[in-house]
């Protein structure tokens, strides 16, 4: 996540047993993590200078 100055302030991660998730599931997890990080960055003021 980035703050209003585009500095990293935190990270978002997910862990899971790889054997339990197929390639499509991995793609969906990556998209969900990216969306969460973008939403949190927006709440921290990124893009609002």
pLDDT digits (tens, 9 = 90+) for 4-37: 888 898 888 899 999 999 999 999 999 999 999 8
pLDDT of residue 25: 95
Say if residue 45's pLDDT is above 70.
yes
Range of the domain at 17: 1-49
- What is the pTM assigned to this prediction? 0.76
d(C-alpha 33, C-alpha 39), whole Å: 10
pLDDT of residue 15: 92
| Cβ neighbours for 8, distance < 8 A, ≥ 6 positions apart | 1, 2
How many domains does the chain divide into? 1
pLDDT of residue 48: 58
Say if residue 49's pLDDT is above 60.
no
């Amino acid at each position: 996540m980035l703050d209003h100055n585009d500095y990293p302030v935190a990270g978002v991660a997910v862990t899971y047993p790889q054997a339990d998730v197929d390639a499509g599931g991995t793609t969906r997890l990556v998209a969900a993590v990216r969306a969460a990080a973008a939403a949190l960055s927006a709440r921290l003021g990124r893009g609002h200078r």
